[in-house]
Structure 1
Amino acid sequence: MTSEGAVFDLGYEQYRGPRLSDRQVFWRMVIDGLKKSVGIGKRARNKAFPFSLVALAILPALGVVVIQVVAKIFGLPLSGDVLLDDREYFDWTSQLIFFFVAVAVPNLLIPDRVENVLLVYTSRPPTINTYLVARLVAMAISVGVFLMIPQLVLLIGEALISPSFFGHLADNLAFWWRVPLTSFAYLAVNVGVAALVAAYINNRGAAIAIYIIGVNVLNGVGIGLSSINEYFSLLSIQFWPTRIRDWVFGVNTLDDFPGADLPIVAVLATTIAFLTLAVALILRRYRKLI
């Protein structure tokens, strides 16, 4: 052995670039999450599915509005019921976001965990809570666009064919709390279930399949058992946001569903209890990884 040593210059230099604040890092993670949720930065085939669903959500509303505007310009007779109202359109978009969330949430959560980059995200300054909140905000924005943009198209379209554009907007002020509240219900339930599955499953294909099959199985079980007792209908996960929507809009579109007359308090309590449990389990899972 020798006491002599040698120092080798490997060319490493101290980072001298801009250092981001906590807020800047958070929003960078949100933007990164938005890109991942719709496949930006990946192959074209990864973008095809989410963008197709977005188009399917928006184009029908746009088409109905165009027909109404053209009919008004040329004085063509059209039934006043041609335009779907904001409540009815949720029947369409809620089906689309079910499949959008099924793919987007696993793409958002699983790769970071499988590729062992969580430690990079949470080294400094973000914490695991910051990371998860950023991912949640990214999904909320994505699903919010899904649900809100078509509704805005319908609202503006109805205003365009009404005698007074601004008068129509003023007469529909309830839109600005009914639609966001209903959108939040669909967003919270779908993202909550998908995130819980994606937090514990490391294979994206398996997570997608478990989410889709699991929700549909629970829907079937809830409908089947509700003939015994209507409270079994609470096992049907997709029933929760639909029942909340009807409550918000003051209607009942679930006449043929055994749980249609369940107290809204029971539905809200079940939804909140599930989301609370989902958040706790997701946090527990991720804190064990760090």
Structure 2
Amino acid sequence: MSTSTIHDIGYRHYEGRRNGRAYVMRSLYIHNLRAAFGLGRPARAKVMPFLLAAIMLLPAAGSVAVIAVTKEFENLIKYSSYAVNLQIILAIFLATQAPVIASRELRFHVIPLYYSRPVGHLDFVLAKLGAMATAVFALLALPVTVLYVGGLIAKVPNSGDHLVDYLAALVGCVVFALVLGAIGLVIAAFTPRRGFGVAAVIAVYMLSTTFVAILQALAEEQTNFTLSGWLGLFAPFNLVDIVQVRLLGAEKASVAVPPGTSAGLVALALCTGIVALAIAVLYRRFRKAGLS
């Protein structure tokens, strides 16, 4: 006699709401943005990003306090120069947090789990780049906003000009965030070990800036100021500063910038190329990891 039995184990079709691609991408973006500041992780993961954010705010707060007391408004830090002046803090932030966003899934081999769901390869990359860029933008835009608001409270003259400078500086912050975030993620994505990733990211930023500064100094010793300006294209911070100076009307913060609006257009094209190339490299890197 047959002893087979059919058991009803309660499988049912899903009849709830299907949120779609936009919801998945938004969830990935928020998850990575929270990770950039250590949110949802142990307390030790929050120390570095929030400490660096506080350090970024100190010069802005100090500058506002000085002009409030002395009324010497020329001492207010220039909005567009903030990123260049504090580039080492930004480099440390990128070095510590880019590996968190780019390499954790690679290190623990969980990329195939993401791609087992309806997550597009490009969506995965754009969510990470968007989160990294947003984190860097917040780090820059907050102290710049403190400078602007503090200046208004202190009643700086020509507040209309200050508004134009502030808005132009925010555009510069966006360019800084995209370029620096793209470079940091690419480097971190090829160094799954976090320690190596931190060292590699900060080395690229600092060594490129130092090397270019040496070449610019040598060029200026030979009174070749035009060459000195064009050499700035090879350092990320100087590159974006050229865009700010030549296209946004900012005062230069780097050693030298090349002359003419055409220099700004070249620098902007190079910034766009860096971001596009970074997306392509990250796409290939995560796609390959998703197949392993």
Q: Which range, TM-score by smaller chain? A: 0.7 to 0.9
**Structure 2 match to 1:86:** 79
Aligned letter for 2:244? R
Q: Which structure 1 segments of 5+ residues have no match?
A: 72-76
The CA distance in 1 between the partners of 2:27 and 2:277, in whole Å, is 28
* Identical residues among aligned pairs (%): 23
Aligned letter for 1:55? A
1:126 to partner: Cα distance: 2.1
Per-residue CA shift, 1:74-131, capped at 9, x if unaligned?
xxx5322232231233334443222111111110121112223223323333212111
Q: Which structure 2 segments of 5+ residues have no match?
A: 220-226
- 1:84 is paired with a residue whose SS is coil
1:43 to partner: Cα distance: 2.5
Identify which of 92, 117, 126 aligns with 1:133. Answer: 126
Q: 1:19 to 1:66 in 2, by over 3 A?
A: farther
Please tell me whether the aligned partners of residues 64 and 76 of structure 2 are also in contact (alpha carbons under 8 angstroms): yes
Q: 1:106 to 1:280 in 2, by over 3 A?
A: same
Q: How do 1:230-245 and structure 2 match up within 5 A?
A: 230=228, 231-245=230-244
1:191 to partner: Cα distance: 0.9
**Structure 1 match to 2:34:** 35
**Structure 2 match to 1:275:** 275
Please tell me whether the aligned partners of residues 93 and 146 of structure 1 are also in contact (alpha carbons under 8 angstroms): no
Please tell me whether the aligned partners of residues 242 and 264 of structure 2 are also in contact (alpha carbons under 8 angstroms): yes
**Structure 2 match to 1:157:** 150
Q: 1:119 to 1:39 in 2, by over 3 A?
A: same
The answer to whether structure 1 residue 110 and structure 2 residue 92 are counterparts is no
Q: How do 1:40-79 and structure 2 match up within 5 A?
A: 40-66=39-65, 68-69=67-68, 71=69, 77-79=70-72
**Structure 1 match to 2:178:** 188
1:253 to partner: Cα distance: 4.0
Aligned letter for 1:52? L
**Structure 2 match to 1:119:** 112
Aligned letter for 1:134? A
Please tell me whether the aligned partners of residues 225 and 233 of structure 1 are also in contact (alpha carbons under 8 angstroms): no
The CA distance in 1 between the partners of 2:5 and 2:106, in whole Å, is 39
Q: 1:66 to 1:18 in 2, by over 3 A?
A: farther
Identify which of 197, 209, 215 aligns with 1:219. Answer: 209
Aligned letter for 1:268? L
Deviates more, 1:268-277 or 1:127-136: 268-277
Q: 1:252 to 1:55 in 2, by over 3 A?
A: closer
Please tell me whether the aligned partners of residues 221 and 235 of structure 1 are also in contact (alpha carbons under 8 angstroms): no
Q: 1:4 to 1:131 in 2, by over 3 A?
A: farther
Q: 1:28 to 1:208 in 2, by over 3 A?
A: same
**Structure 2 match to 1:287:** 287
**Structure 1 match to 2:200:** 210
Aligned letter for 2:54? A
Deviates more, 1:228-237 or 1:102-111: 228-237
1:154 to partner: Cα distance: 1.2
Q: 1:100 to 1:7 in 2, by over 3 A?
A: farther
